[in-house]
Structures are given as C-alpha cells and as structure tokens.
A and B are shown apart, each in its own frame.
Chain A
Amino acid sequence: MKHTIAVIVENKSGVLTRIAGLFSRRSFNIESLSVGATDNPDYARMTITVEGDRDVLEQVIKQLSKLINVIRVSALEPAESVERELALIKVSADRESRSEIMQIVKIFRAKIIDVSARSMIIEVTGDEEKVDAFVQLLRQFGIKELARTGKVSMTRGARTIKA
C-alpha cells in the first residue's frame, strides 16, 4: 500500500541526507521524494511516497518526527488531498507521427515545449495515473528520455500543513 507524507523541514544543508539516511537505515521503501522551498525561506517541504502497511507508515512518521531538523510530518489521506506530478518526455517525432502525438497531447492537456526535426519535448502535469497513462500512450512513438518530478500533494479545503 502506498502512502503520501508531507514533511516540513528546516531549509539547511544536510537535511535531505538525514531523511534519506533514515529511510535506508530503517529499511523503509521510498517510492518517490520531491523537495522544494515553501512560502517561508527557512523551511522546505518534502512530499514522500512510501510503500508499506499502516504499521510501517506509523513508524515512518514517528521516526521522521524524531529528526531535529524536521518541523512537521503529516500523512495525506488520498480522498482528502490533491496530488500532482510533472513529467518531461522527449519523444521521437517525425513528419508522419507528429500530428498524432499532438492529438494525444491535446487530449491530455499536455504541452509541447520543444520541437526539432526528429523529436519533441512534452510537458505533462497530473496525478500519477494520468502521467503513467500518458507515458504509456507515447511509448509507441519511442521515448528517448523521461524525467518525472515525483509527486507533490496538498490537503483539500482550508486545513494547512505548515511549520
């Protein structure tokens, strides 16, 4: 079972290492991890997806909370939160396939951000399933390169996860 956790950490060097080190030492499985600044430059926000049962999730949250540089840890319930991931996909595209790819891009509300004679780069945003489906559809044309950001997530409504 996959769980999504939002972690607010102090924006200092070495903090990512502490988090990554904790996961490997305790044998927790990270599916994805994304990190970026928050509204407050002193803090960064990580979104971590972990694989495991409820007990594993509980241990992950408790162990993360023990780190001195971790300010807040919160599990996000899928039904009560939105999640997005961005992917850049460099796909083979020649004269024959270009228009077909553009149609798929349109259906998925993705964007073409670079075009050359033999390839294009497409930017797609969505939840994990949408990105997966999009990547799957493009595979027939030949994916030359793929970069995904990992998931970011936020609770719906007025409730906030802040420092």
Chain B
Amino acid sequence: MSQGITRESSGKGQGSGPKITGAQAVLESLKREGVDVVFGLPGGVLLPLYDAIYQSDLRHILVRHEQGAAHMADGYARATGKVGVCIATSGPGATNLVTGIANAYMDSVPMVAITGQVNTWLIGKDAFQEADITGITLPITKHNYLLRSAKDITRVFREAFYIARTGRPGPVLIDLPRDVTVDEVEFTWPELDLPGYHPSFKAHEMQIKKAAKALMEAERPVIYVGGGVRYASAHKELYDLATKINAPVTTTLMGIGCFPEDHPLSLGMLGMHGTKYANYAIQESDLILAIGARFDDRVTGKISSFAPRAKMVHIDVDPAEVGKNVRVDIPVVGDAKNALQGLLKEVMPKASGAWNEKIEAWKKDHPLGYIPDLNLIKPQYVIEKLCQLAPDAIITTEVGQNQMWAAQFFVHKDPQKFISSGGLGTMGYGFPAAIGAKMGRPECDVIDIAGDGSFLMNSQELATAVVNDIPVKVAVLNNGCLGMVRQWQELFFEKRYSATILGRTSPDFVKLAEAYGAVGLRATKPSEVEGVIQTALSTDRPVVMDFIVNPAEKVSPMVPAGATLSEILELQWCEEADISHLAKIYADARKEILGQEGI
C-alpha cells in the first residue's frame, strides 16, 4: 500500500488527489483498523483483491474450506478481543461462511466477513457464482453491507469494524462486487456517522443503587455470569465484587473462566450439564445477579420454575436481552465493567454466612466426578490430565460430550482461554478456532478438545495448520460415536442408536494426521495418556492425539430437557450391558479399520 495515499481525514469530498484501486482501499482500511491477519480463500471475483494482498504485507492464512476461515476469525477474536477477519469469494465461498457467521452472531463475537460479489451490473441476473449473501446473512449479522461504489469502501469498512466491536459485539458482513475493487478512488478516511447506532455503555446510577441495595438485603444471592463479562473484560471487577460480598458465582458456557474455578466461591457452570450445586443454588436463591447472560434454555431448564424465589437483577449491554426470556425486577442496561465498577462502590463488605455453608455442603455432597477405570480410558481422565499438564493452555472445543467434559473437568481461570461454540453449537468449530486462537496468541499452547464426529467436520484444516506452521494440538476423545446424541438415545429413545455409531466409518486419525504432514499419536490405555500429551506438548508441530475412550460414558449430571434445574440427575456412568453392547459394535469396527483388538 504505498504511494499516493492521502492520509488526511478529508470527509466525503472527492478532490483530484492521487487515486488507488478499490482493492487497495480495502487493504488500507484493514491496516487502519489494526488488522494483522486475515483468513480466507480466493475466487474469481476476488482476483483484484487477492492481487492487492499479494503486494501488501498483510498476513493471509489460506484455508481449505471457507467455513474454516470464519471459525478461525472467530477463534482469533475470542482469544485476543480484537476483530477477526475472514474472506471468501462470491456464491459458494460466501455461503460456506454462513455457519461461521451464524456461530459468531449467536456468541456475540466481533468479526468482519468480506465476501466477493459479481460485478454490480450482473447483480440480480443469476450470474456465475452469484448469491444474495447480504440477504442470506440478514438474520445472522449485526449489520451487513453491499458496496456499490468504490468511494464508499473506506466509510463502510470503518463503520463495519466499529459496529462489530462496540456495544454487544457481533459479525458484520461486507459484500464487495468485483468492479468496486477495480475502480479507482481517492483515499479518504471519513469520520463515523451512524445516526441509528448508539451502543449503551454507562449504566444508570439509580439502577446501580437499586441493584446494590438488593444485593445487600439478599440472604442467598447467586451471581450468574455470561459472555458479556468476558467481552467487557470485567472479570477483575467481578472477582472484586464476589469476594467483597462473599456471593457465589456460577458461569454459563460462554462465561467460563470469568471467575477462577478453583476459588471457594465458584460454583462452576450451571444449567443442563452444570454442577448440581450451581443448579441447587440457583433454585434456592433469593437474588440472582445476572451479568452479560441471556437466560438461554440450556441454562434455565423449565423457564417458569427457574429460580422461583429470586429477585432478578439483570445487567446487560443489550437492552433487548433484558426481559426477553425472564421477568426482571431490576434492569441495568450498560457495559458489564462499568456496571460492576458502579456496584463495587455501592456495596458494603459482607461476611460469609449460612448460605455459603449450605453451598459448601452441597459441593461436598455432590461433586463432579466419574468412576476411574484401569483398562478403559475415561474421557474425563484425559481432560484432567490435559489440565494438569497444560493448565495455562487455551482450550477450544467441538460440540457435544467433548465440550461438556472440557467445561466440567478442566479448571478454567482465564476468560480468553476457553473458546467454545455455545449458542449455535457448531460441530467442527473447535479445530479451526484453535488455529485462529494460536495465530492471535502464539505464545500459548492451544488445544482443541474434540470428538471423532466433530473433528472430521473441519479436519481439512490440518493442511492449513501444517502449511502455515501453526502448531495446534487436537485431543480427539474417540468414542466411535456421536456421543451426545447417543447418550440421549440411550436415555430417552430406549437405546435405539439411530445413525450415531461411527466406529466402522471413521478414519484412522493417526494416519489422517500423518497424511497431512502433522504428527499423529494414539493412546488406547489409561497408562498411555500422560505420555501422549507430553509428547504432543513438546512437539512444535500440529499434533492429533487419538484417545480411544470408553464409548458408553455419559455426560453427568444432567437436567433433562424441559425439566426444572433442581431435577438434575446423576447418571450412572453406564450399565454393564450397555458397555458390552457398544464395545462390541465398536470393537468390530476398529478391528476392521485398524486391524486392532477392540478397545
């Protein structure tokens, strides 16, 4: 991006200064927004843009499927707090981003997705590789743009980054027709002018006072923390508040790490696969302080009986979340950090009391756990070992049992170090997200905790990791089935395992890794787990660890769908009949594929 770029902010005026192409204007805009890496895959209409990338110093990570690019941008954003950027061509390239964009939207991830589009004069004519991507992504973006003129590029890019990262963050898509990237334009950097966008920030003082008073009067308070605390970087303020008034803290999946889980006030995660004590505490509480959380159905269980005796205080930066799913007594609209700072000033220290003792007793009586095994690897054991050997690693997850075990058995302490697809529940998310996270935080170990089902959904990105030398680690908890669905079939569909047994059809993950030039390792016995993890961590290359785990293991405890949180069940890890049944199916399959003797 060199000569001829005027630096002054000269508004919308188009003088007769030196001109650059639209593509160069895009790159200059990215530079001004502080973008140091983009994830993408080129295509016909993107040729001018990619030609400009070729001549620039912007780092571009070539992916092997556009969905990977979107998840990488997402993982990068969650690990760094910066806006992640992905690029895809028109038509199929753009539609391949859709899952990744929806994923970012559901979890409020700051992202800018750039898509190529056919020439403006062809739009609407069903041209080759044309798709109405702004129409398609309307309900899954915070905002989107179809650029029709090169002179709008810089304004739109500036707005897009601002919208993506402020207020409640979210993805913004910019559709870029080919001719717009070719046309010449004078570079200007216009001031933001968004008359309809006023993200709330400062919480109302009166509401803060009311919330503080309610907190002081409460005898059984619970602080319920979601992803809003993470995006506002309000975890220190949260810690100060909780410890000042000795209130227990439970987090959603998105809020994991916002409060250190080894702290006595931590209740861990709540909801469907939350801890018993978190769910009991919610149901018994007389005050819920919800911060940056949205009362999702996986969190509340049966909504009409959620926290029946509690006064509801809800802090959220998005006014539309307040009162959306539950009735709120004290709404506080504002940034979590700002609101928590306000609350901290208003509350008096409170000693721990009977409520804390009750919670201690619940914790003692109903700990998270599993039955250890000397012969079969327990998936929970793998997570515990990962936590022991890489306590400071960034953990990404796929979706399903692997995700819940990663949430339950890793001791999380840092909000930017647990990266998981919460709202959309996207299988195939964790591995590309790990690559994105590693790009953003190269100094950290990054481990994707995966299942054999989800890993295959984006395993082609092994090529991306190898070629670009991004040494992420994947821990496949290989149970030979789509475990979470299988678990539901076992519990609610009389063990009819419809389309959930994969054993016979999965590849050899060690060979798969090696085929891509990555390192493949396998553990089949509990005694091998530690060695495999150590080898993986000491290898400066991408590694896939294949842990052959007990196929019958279930995620426990569990609140059945539609039940009240207090109806949480402890699931016996499995009956002998189940394990032998599943083990047989699985062993036959493995023998066929690997020539090995079962599990």
Residues of A within 8 A of B (CB): 9-10, 14, 17-18, 21-22, 25, 55, 58-59, 62-63, 65-71, 163
Contact = CB atoms under 8 A, between A and B. Distances in A.
Interface stretch (B189-197, B222-230, B549-557, B585-593): B189-197
A18 B138 contact: yes
Given A9-B196, A14-B146, A65-B320, 12 more contacts: A14-B134, A21-B139, A25-B139, A59-B323, A62-B319, A66-B320, A67-B143, A67-B196, A68-B143, A68-B163, A69-B196, A71-B195
Interface string B544-588: 000000000000000000000000000000000000000000000
Interface of B: 134-135, 138-139, 142-143, 146, 163, 194-197, 318-320, 323-324
Contacts of A69: 196
B324 A59 contact: yes
A70 to B, nearest CB: 5
Nearest to B198: A65
B323 A58 contact: yes
A163 B142 CA distance: 22
Contacts of B146: 14
Contacts, number: 37
A10 B135 contact: no
Contacts of B138: 17-18, 21
Contact of B318 (A18, A55, A66, A70): A66
4 A-B pairs with least C-beta separation: A62-B320, A68-B143, A71-B196, A25-B139
Contacts of B197: 68
B9 to A, nearest CB: 22
A63 B321 CA distance: 9
A18 B144 CA distance: 10
Contacts of A67: 143, 196
Given A14-B134, A21-B138, A68 B323 contact: no
B196 A68 contact: yes
B320 A63 contact: yes
Contacts of A21: 138-139
Contact of B196 (A14, A55, A58, A70): A70
A18 B139 CA distance: 8
Interface hub of A59, A62, A163 (most chain B Cβ within 10 A): A62
Interface hub of B135, B138, B142 (most chain A Cβ within 10 A): B138
30 contacts: A9-B196, A10-B195, A10-B196, A14-B134, A17-B138, A18-B138, A21-B138, A21-B139, A25-B139, A55-B323, A58-B323, A59-B323, A59-B324, A62-B319, A62-B320, A63-B320, A65-B319, A66-B318, A66-B320, A67-B143, A68-B142, A68-B143, A68-B163, A68-B194, A68-B196, A69-B196, A70-B196, A71-B195, A71-B196, A163-B195
A59 B328 CA distance: 13
Interface hub of B138, B195, B319, B323 (most chain A Cβ within 10 A): B195
Given A14-B134, A21-B138, A21-B139, A59 B196 contact: no
A68 B134 CA distance: 14
A8 B60 CA distance: 41
Contacts of A14: 134, 146
A57 to B, nearest CB: 11
Contacts of A17: 135, 138
Contacts of B318: 66
Contacts of A68: 142-143, 163, 194, 196-197
A9 B139 CA distance: 18
Contacts of A65: 319-320
Nearest to B323: A58
A69 B142 CA distance: 11
B271 to A, nearest CB: 23
A148 to B, nearest CB: 28
A65 B163 CA distance: 14
Contacts of A62: 319-320
A63 B322 CA distance: 11
Contacts of B143: 67-68
A17 B138 CA distance: 9
